[in-house]
Chains A and B, each alone.
Chain A
Amino acid sequence: MSDERHIDGNGVGGLLAEVLGVDPTTVRRRCGGCGDVRALAEHRAYAGAAMVLRCPSCEDVGVRIGTLGGEIAVDWRGTFFVQRQLV
């Protein structure tokens, strides 16, 4: 999917911070599809009914952010794990 409709995961940092409580853009995510580990900021963000973050390596759906019953919900399907540097 080498189309030009996406922005970077960086652009949804504020939205994700609503849920996670911290700016997650430097959090690294290991893709459940290809196993690559990339920062959320590097993911491809597609805006639709939900915001979808796709792996920049294999373009699998990694994270979905949407509203559910008036709340913001994050679905981490397609993610083995996330990791973040200790501070």
Chain B
Amino acid sequence: MERLGVRGPIPWRTATVREVVPETSHARTLVLDVPGWPGHRAGQHLDVRLTAEDGYQASRSYSIASAPELDAVEITVEEVADGEVSPYLVEDVQAGDAFEVRGPIGGHFTWSVDERGPLLLIAGGSGLAPLMAMLRHRAARGSMVEAHLLVSARSEDNLLYRAELPTLQPAEGLHIHVTYTRSTPAGWDGFSGRVDADMLRAVAPPPAAMPRCFVCGPTPFVEHVANLLVDAGYPPGDIRAERFGPTGG
């Protein structure tokens, strides 16, 4: 019988910034050393807590972007204008700085190569982070499970992991598509505009292939894409969604 409560609350642990990696003009990845970190599964998130000198505390949730196999925990933070936490993490924090984290959290929006595929991953903006953890996990394990990624970004400058995406391995079985909603690079012959039914049909395995669908992004994006998937005949039980709200930051 399960012994509920034996583990106790998920403790706050000190995270020290090992490295800061710029991603876009307003997003960056923080590579964290977290002594005692119990490990995570691709797709999980953590809470960050900042404490001001006067004791005021603010916490926010961030998806873990790194593969479980990495010896560090990475989060990618996009700055939210007027946010309480993200401006500090994107503009101020430097290697050697420390703050508190709690995690990993969430057992619903996760995937491992030990589970079945194919994968259909659809990201809006920084919703790419937890899906990147899945693809990095796939790479770390050398899995050739079929994976289809569709990323919606405003422009090339707003696309996270822009250099890494085309280099992800194993290339066999991996299909990456990008759609730009505001402006396209010169000579771009890929998708543009918001995700729609035609785009889904072009990139996704058919419902009969029973893909595991993971959708992550701002709430309106996720609602829109999840509805498209259901309308296209994908079983709701195979669609996992992770929304981040318009407030907070």
Contacts and interface: CB of A to CB of B under 8 A. Distances in A.
Interface of A: 2, 4-8, 10-11, 13-14, 17-23, 25-26, 39, 41-42, 47, 84, 86-87
Contacts of B2: 84, 86-87
Contacts of A4: 219-220, 223, 246
B247 A5 contact: yes
Interface residues of B, number: 32
B44 to A, nearest CB: 9
Contacts of B244: 7, 11
Contacts of B108: 10, 25-26, 39, 41-42
Contact of A11 (B4, B5, B6, B61): B61
B242 interface: yes
8 tightest Cβ-Cβ pairs between the two chains A and B: A41-B108, A21-B5, A26-B107, A13-B105, A7-B245, A14-B47, A4-B219, A4-B220
Interface of B: 1-2, 4-10, 45-47, 59, 61, 102-103, 105-109, 219-220, 223, 241-248
A16 B165 CA distance: 35
Contacts of A22: 4-5, 7
A18 B5 CA distance: 11
A23 B5 contact: no
Contact of A14 (B105, B109, B219, B243): B105
